[in-house]
Structure 1
Amino acid sequence: MRHNSHLHTSMSALALAAALGVTQTAHAQSATPQAGGEAAGSGEIIVTAQRKAESISKVPLSITALGNDALETKQVTEMKDLQFASPGIRAGQQQGVTRIFIRGIGLTSFSAGADPSVAFYADGVYVGRPTAQASSFYDVERIEVLRGPQGTLYGRNATGGAVNVISRAPTRELSGYANLTYGNYDLKEFEGGISGPLTEGGDLRARVSGHVIDRDGYGYDFGMNHDFNDAKSQSVRTQLQYENGNGTDIRLIGEYHHENDYNNGTTSFGAYPGYELQGVVGTVDPDGNELKGIAVTGGQDTATALVGKTNVREGWAVTLNANFDISDRLHFNSITGFRKWDRYNGSNSDGTSAGLGNTYYNEKSKQFSQELVLNWSAGPLDLVAGTSFYWERLDNYVLVPFVQFGTNYIQDGTMDIESFSAYGQATVHVLDSLRLTAGGRYSTETRDSKGTFTFFGVTDVSGQKTWSDFNPKFGIEFDLNPDTLLYATATNGFKSGTFNVGQVNPAINPEKIWSYEAGFKTKLFDNAVQLSGAYFHYDYTDLQVNKVIGIATVTTNAAAAKVDGLELAATIKPFSGLTLDTSFTYLDARFSEFFSTNPLYPGGASDPGYAIWLAANPDAKTPVFDGDIASEQNLKGYQLPGAPKYAATAGIQYDYDMDNGARITLRGDAAYASRIHFSEFNDVHLSQKAVTKFNAYVRYDSGKLWTLSVWGKNLTNETVKSNELVTIALWGYPRYGAIEPPRTYGATVGLKF
């Protein structure tokens, strides 16, 4: 009867998923069947960062892995929260585009066709569009953050590193949970899942999980009289897994996501100092109609002329992950993925409700990927080899009605991407304590872009190009003792060449990086103290950067950079129940070669805007114009955008076990970052000043069926920009961008069985 109950409940869950109209999708886990849990008896997380399952303390990489409990107590519910958990990482969004930076390397362009510099994987499947990366953050088993270039095993677009979000797998026994949250801004949130066997013994099993958010806006749109940056989203995931216990593990995951709200809106920071927003000073259109509006600047509120919902997204995915132990020494993994994503965002670019710079983004993408991986281990040799194919079609349509001119600015185009690669990495055990690694990846990629650009005429902007690259890796690792690992690596990586779809922009060649890193990992005093650290040096060439050419901003390969950095992390357990953790990152990330024109004084030192800029930046270094073009400024030595010089985290957690089997958990976290520049010109008015954020968390776990958590984020209510940029003189040089959520707090009731 017990088995029949399990079967009935599991089948009911699958019927519920079908009733909801869920398309069967799957996110593949690039792992062996045993990956994703804890090492037996050690409490240490098993990770798959090197395409095989191994203990995190034995991985010769800078890596952070957060299991389910750590994700909950550290309150990592979205990308930006990783700054509290992993050194050297920062994440934010701009118009719904996820921007992840690791060690100062990340996405700076917002153009359609721009690829991230940090590769993002959902259960082992590469997610191509930065606008689609945030939809899998629920029912998560583990998050792995790999810091530094990962060209050999991860390929393209991993010059900064890689993030892999791994969902919870189906279980052999009937289990489930439901978390119900209520918070300020009338937050109502549900996350839950049910999992269990479909056959006796649980070889075939299923899981259904979902996530729903309904929240009022953090601000108000006084131009259109509705909430601003609210949230209305729904997600559901279904899974089937077959594992026979003899080395066969096949997992199918289905996922659907939908949003329809005013979220991901742009915040106005007012006109650049010395200028006035044209939407509030009586500007007229070609017919003489006054376009005067209102402006709200610098906070959570705004004033726009955007009609209708400004954030509409829908996506689904299918992934099949098949693992087979061919023999005791040979393991085979096939990862097949298909994803579809549609995104619309309306943005206010002129900083007022006059509607001078309303921008409407429409993006559709479809992608298919197939990866085959072999792991072989025999005697002193470990070998990982694989092939990968990736295809994507990206459709882009951007509309900006220039009402002052009575005409439209339109980007309209499609780009097809085809990428092939083959890779291998071998580790030789020279001694029991000494290992040498060498590997490489050969990639070829073709991008075919077709489209038109319209602005006072129509321009064909089609192009096609193929790039090839080889990315080697070399490493050495030494066990100083059973609890101390020393390692050093030299790694090459690249970011794909591309076209900006629908823009007048020549082909953009790949950017390349050489990384040299030396690090250590150690455990002391019977694992009461865990320490890790790394020093790294990057040589970056052909950076894909935005550059002003004439009246247009284009993306070009115009820069080289060097990055030197140091990371330290520690976890200390001075006595039972108390855990202290901290991390520190130092970055010296600077351009070593780059000439560019500042849009605030496009004529160089003779431009009238130059004097205005000097007055607004009295403490800035004096611009130097010594390039071949008089208006171009020499930016050698300037700090890379998105790269704080210093960052640190500190956390304290106490777990108290009660006599009745219940547990009380208390946790506090702090995250500090020094000034972050959003402009390559290191303009203080386009930056986020140094800031420290604080979170707190309290949980009572009954040890039986229920939990109660009380939590708070950004407790001191800091206003933190995640991005800021300046637009055009026609609108009065408005500054706009995005800011992180204000102080939020609430309570969560959890039920589990």
Structure 2
Amino acid sequence: MIATQVLLSTLLAGAQAQEVPAAAGPGAVGEVVVTAQRREQSAQDVGVALSVLSGEELARRGVTNVNDLQFQTPSLEVVPAFGGGQPQFRLRGVGFEDYATNNTPTVGIYVDEVAYPVPAMTRGALFDIERVEVLRGPQGTLYGRNTTGGAVNFISRRPTDRFSAGADLEYGSFGLFKGEAFVSGPISDTLKVRVSGIAEQGGAFQRNRVTGERLGDADRLYGRALLEWTPAAGVDLLFNVHGGRDRSEQTGLYLFRPFQTRGYGIGTPGPVIPADPEDGKQTGWGLQGLSALVGTAPGARPSRDNDSWGASLTASLDVSPAVQLTSITSYEKLKRRELADWDASASRESDVFWGSDAEVWSQEVRLASSGQQRLGWVAGAYYSWQGLDERFLSDRTDSQAAVVDISYRQRADSISGFGQASYALTPVLTLIAGARYEHERRQLRDFVTLRNGVPNFTDGNRDTGLDEASGKLGLEVRPARGLMLYASASRGVKSGGFTVYNSRVPDQIDPFRPEILYAYEVGFKSDPARAVRLNGSVFFYDYRDQQVLSVVINPQSGSIGRIVNAPRSEIYGGELELQLAPTARLHVSHAISYKYGRYNEFDDVDAASVVRGPDGLYTGRTIDKAGLPVPIAHWGYQGAVSYALPLGARYSLETQADWSWRDELPSFLGPVYDLPDRWIANATLTLRPDEGRWWIGAYARNLFGEKYDLTRNFFLPNASIASPGRPASFGVRLGFGL
């Protein structure tokens, strides 16, 4: 099978195939316009490593959630958090391992310029998207929030000047149905509206190993309404209201090693459950005890009961012919209720529940230069307030004779000023400089861990924050038409926070510090011919106080899990992207990436060495990890090819294939939990008339049926579990527009 996949990759080629406008002409890769630097530019004129995917490409490749982006973008990994599934973004190896809801990500997620600082809020469906821009490296001098890893920008389609409407329907394997639709057009000369939505049902590919019941059906509904008002020349107001509900079943975990259950109480062995097949189609659950505690229906399955909604107002005003003022006011709300079974069995060893209420207010104001000038600049201010009230329950009746009930409140507010300027010294040479200063206060309040109703400790208030400067210096050189060389040095900052899940002793919730990343990058962007585009970059990251999930020693309790700071580490690597358009109908592209990281200074606790001494206190030794690798995947490659085959004088058959290979992903838990390398390939066929707005097609996703896991972990010494990727699936699509 691997040989077949390698052969296919060799014959076809590509990755990151962009939608090429018809106006680009025969044999041209076309121009992609982005707003990555807060103004419209050709992607080839932006001195930053970035990749762009159009909405058409996302739909054709079956990308309906942010987790699937990792198979389409160089150096990006999106790992679902253990058990909960909330996305954990990692760009160029810069990521954050934490399944809690309360801490900030290393990669900033923006939807229509609004930041989503709570990872669980980013799990909604992708629909009616114009494009996705993925920027690699620290971002902060142009954005409201500061990040160390990069930024992912989702840009929705705007209301249209003329009436238009359309729908895209899909039916696939395992009873999956998905429908997406929109209506757009003017209400008056100054007012336009666009309403869009998506619904998804079915798709369960797993069954209970004992009862045969299905698990994994989707039940999602999301919608968005955009109202654009231009009351006068130079004035544009965009009101965005959106929301959704998710009543889907969870993807079940499976046992990749035999599981010795406790089953009947502490110290009493239960039955041994054999390892499940590696295809992940077999799972197990038993949530009756937890269901009674949280008031869900008896016989509940691993599932979600989540609601989200939000609104934003983006106002743009031309202050003068050369200056534009932009204001973005937003509010986002998430109500999260989720059940999961971490031991993947009917045994009550680790059944969990999330009850989260999160909200985010933000306000951004910025001034920016307009038009093409020698001096281009952006200056702004940003304020954000976050509130999180959360309850996290673990039913460990059979493993520890306990139910652990954690609750807390967290508040975070930040205010920052940022700006960046570029100055063209000559037509060839441009200098770039940016700066940012940020103040943040983060408060943990009323934290309590109840074990069978008895609190472990009472001092549950903690505070942390930051007052940090960051910035960027860059140089762009354009020695010839179609060629740009760039270099940059930047400093990024990620907030500190608190370890809140399963924290049973006071020092476990003590804050960890912010992390700092010094990033150095050089690259080039080139169009050596109309049909050829070649971009590349190399980078070196100097990490300070990297946030790492590890353990610390408590003299009274032994080893306890906590996020700690590794004093010094480094990551280096690069990417190379190639696009080809030999004819107007054929488009091919490739992207390859490499990264490697190691610790330079980190004395980590050896959890296996922790013992209790004669005095009743626990001690242990540390491991000097200086020179040891940071657990990240090294190589990545993705490819795509598309060809429009004419059928007579009236129709075209569009053929498209894309694939992705990811290197082995090491785990900090040890080799048993490493994720093996994997190939994922997809293909589509779409029939379209040359005149008319309808199409019909068929698709295959995970075409070769690759068996792969999204994450691996364990609960206590016994249950080694994995979250499987979707198996091979096939389906048909029907679309039409007006």
What interval of TM-score do these two structures reach, taking the shorter chain for normalisation?
0.7 to 0.9
Corresponding residue for 1:582? 590
Contact 1:266 1:347 in 2 (8 A): no
Q: Which residue of 1 aligns with 2:466?
A: 467
Would the aligned equivalents of 1:433 and 1:479 in 2 still touch at CA under 8 Å?
yes
Task: Give, in whole Å, the separation in 1 of the partners of 2:500 and 2:575.
Answer: 38
Residue 433 of structure 2: which of 433, 438, 454 is its match? Answer: 438
Q: Of 297, 315, 321, which residue of structure 2 is paired with 1:322?
A: 315
Does residue 457 in structure 1 map to residue 455 in structure 2? yes
* Range moving further from structure 2, 715-724 or 174-183: 715-724
Deviations 1:260-280 (A, max 9, x none): 132244333335xxxxx341x
Pairing 1:41-190 to 2, within 5 Å after superposition: 43-94=30-81, 95-154=84-143, 156=145, 158-190=147-179
Structure 2, unaligned stretches of length 5 or more?
A: 1-18, 288-298, 553-557
Are 1:568 and 2:542 counterparts?
no
Kindly report which structure 2 residues correspond to 1:370-519, keeping only aligned pairs within 5 A, or say none: 370-376=363-369, 379-404=373-398, 405-450=400-445, 451-455=447-451, 457-459=455-457, 460-501=459-500, 503=503, 504-519=508-523
Amino acid at match of 2:47: P
Structure-2 separation of matches of 1:629 and 1:659: 79
Task: Assess if the C-alpha contact under 8 Å between 1:223 and 1:304 holds in 2.
Answer: no
Q: CA deviation at 1:38?
A: 7.9
Q: State the match for 1:211 in structure 2.
A: 198
Q: Report the AA paired with residue 345 of structure 1.
A: E
TM-score of the superposed pair, with normalisation by structure 2: 0.87
The answer to whether residue 622 in structure 2 is matched with residue 632 in structure 1 is yes
Is 1:727 the counterpart of 2:688 in the alignment? no
SS state at 1:106 partner: coil
Judged with a 3 Å threshold, the aligned counterparts in structure 2 of structure 1 residues 244 and 520 are, in CA distance, closer, same or farther, namely farther
In the other structure, the counterpart of 2:682 is 695
Q: Describe the SS at the equivalent of 1:424.
A: strand
Partner of residue 7, structure 1: none
List structure 1 runs of 4+ shifted beyond 6 angstroms. Answer: 36-42
Counterpart contact for 2:335–2:356, Cα < 8 Å: yes
SS of alignment partner, residue 169 of structure 2: strand
Q: Which residue of structure 2 aligns with residue 739 of structure 1?
A: 724
Quote the Cα distance in structure 1 between the aligned partners of 2:210 and 2:630: 36
Q: Using a 3 Å threshold, how does the CA distance of structure 1 residues 422 and 136 change in structure 2: closer, same or farther?
A: farther
What code does the residue aligned with 1:414 have? R
Worse overlay, 290-299 or 396-405? 290-299
Measured against aligned partners, the alpha-carbon deviations of 1:39-67 in whole angstroms (never above 9, x if no partner) come to 99794221111111111110000011122
User: Partner of 2:70: helix, strand, or coil?
Assistant: helix
Instruction: Please tell me whether the aligned partners of residues 359 and 399 of structure 1 are also in contact (alpha carbons under 8 angstroms).
Output: yes
**What are the superposed Cα offsets for residues 354-373 of structure 1, whole Å, 9 maximum, x if unpaired?**
12111112221011011111
- The farther-off stretch of 190-199 and 460-469 is 460-469
Q: How many residues align?
A: 678
Matched residue SS, 1:698:
strand
Q: Which amino acid aligns with 2:69?
A: L
What is the DSSP-based 3-state SS (H/G/I as helix, E as strand, rest coil) of the residue aligned with 1:284? coil
Residue type at the aligned position of 1:439:
G
Calculate percent identity across the aligned residue pairs: 27
- Tell whether 2:372 aligns with 1:366: no
CA–CA separation in structure 2 for the residues paired with 1:576 and 1:727: 54
Question: Conserved in 1, the CA contact under 8 Å of 2:96 and 2:547?
Answer: no
Matched residue of 1:132: which SS? helix
Q: What stretches of structure 1 of length at least 5 have no aligned partner?
A: 1-35, 272-276, 607-627
* Corresponding residue for residue 15 of structure 1: none
Q: How far off is 1:379 after superposition?
A: 4.6
Q: Which amino acid aligns with 1:308?
A: A
1:254 and 2:227 aligned: no
* Counterpart residue number, 1:301: 282
User: Do the aligned partners of 2:610 and 2:619 also contact (CA within 8 Å) in 1?
Assistant: no
Residue 352 of structure 1, aligned match among 332, 345, 355: 345
Give the 3 Å change call, closer, same or farther, for CA 244–223 of structure 1 in structure 2.
farther
Query: Structure 2: how far apart are the matches of 1:162 and 1:264?
Result: 27
Report the counterpart of residue 535 of structure 2 in structure 1. Answer: 532
Change (3 A) 1:705 1:591: same
Counterpart of 2:591, as a letter, is S
Q: Secondary structure at the match of 1:151?
A: coil
Q: Report the alpha carbon displacement of residue 230 of structure 1 after superposing the two structures with TM.
A: 2.1
The 8 Å contact of residues 84 and 669 in structure 1, kept in 2 or not, is answered as no
Give 1:401 shift: 2.2
For the Cα contact (< 8 Å) 2:101–2:119, is it kept in 1?
no
Question: In 2, are the aligned partners of 1:511 and 1:544 still within 8 Å (CA)?
Answer: yes
CA positional deviation for 1:645: 0.9
Are 1:381 and 1:427, in contact at CA under 8 Å, matched by a contact in 2? yes
Q: From the superposition, tell whether residues 487 and 646 of structure 1 become closer, same or farther in structure 2 (CA, over 3 Å).
A: same
TM-score when normalising by structure 1: 0.86
Moved more, 69-78 or 424-433: 69-78
Letter in 2 for 1:429: A
Counterpart Cα distance in 2 of 1:116 and 1:148: 14
Report how far residue 591 of structure 1 moved: 2.2
| Other-structure match for 1:613 | none
1:718 maps to which of 686, 691, 706:
706
Which string of whole-angstrom CA distances, capped at 9 and with x for unpartnered residues, describes residues 226-262 of structure 1? Answer: 3222211111111211135722221111111111132
| 1:6-17 mapped onto 2 (5 Å cutoff) | none
Equivalent positions of 1:662-681 (< 5 A) are 662-679=651-668
Q: Is the 8 A contact 1:148 1:159 kept in 2?
A: yes
Q: Which residue of 1 aligns with 2:181?
A: 192
Contact 1:156 1:493 in 2 (8 A): no
Instruction: Tell me, in whole angstroms, the C-alpha distance in 2 between the residues paired with 1:180 and 1:141.
Output: 18
Which residue in 2 is equivalent to 1:227?
214
How far apart are residue 631 of structure 1 and its match? 3.1
Change (3 A) 1:419 1:268: farther
Q: Deviations over 1:11-62 (max 9, x none)?
A: xxxxxxxxxxxxxxxxxxxxxxxxx998997942211111111111100000
SS at match of 2:88: strand
Asked if 2 retains the 8 angstrom alpha-carbon contact of 1:212 and 1:233, the reply is yes
Separation of aligned partners in 2, 1:737 and 1:325 = 53
Give the 3 Å change call, closer, same or farther, for CA 132–112 of structure 1 in structure 2.
closer
Within the alignment, does 1:284 sit opposite 2:264 as a pair? yes
Deviations along 1:210-231, one digit per CA (max 9) or x if unpaired, are: 1011013120134575322221
**Taking structure 1 as reference, are residues 401 and 207 closer, same or farther at Cα in structure 2, changes over 3 Å only?**
same
Alignment partner of 2:602: what SS?
A: strand
Structure 1 residue 692: deviation in Å?
1.4
Superposed displacement of residue 150, structure 1:
1.0
Deviations 1:366-424 (A, max 9, x none): 11011111112585211100000011101121111221443321221010010100011
Contact 1:249 1:322 in 2 (8 A): yes
Q: Distance in 2 between matches of 1:126 and 1:211?
A: 22
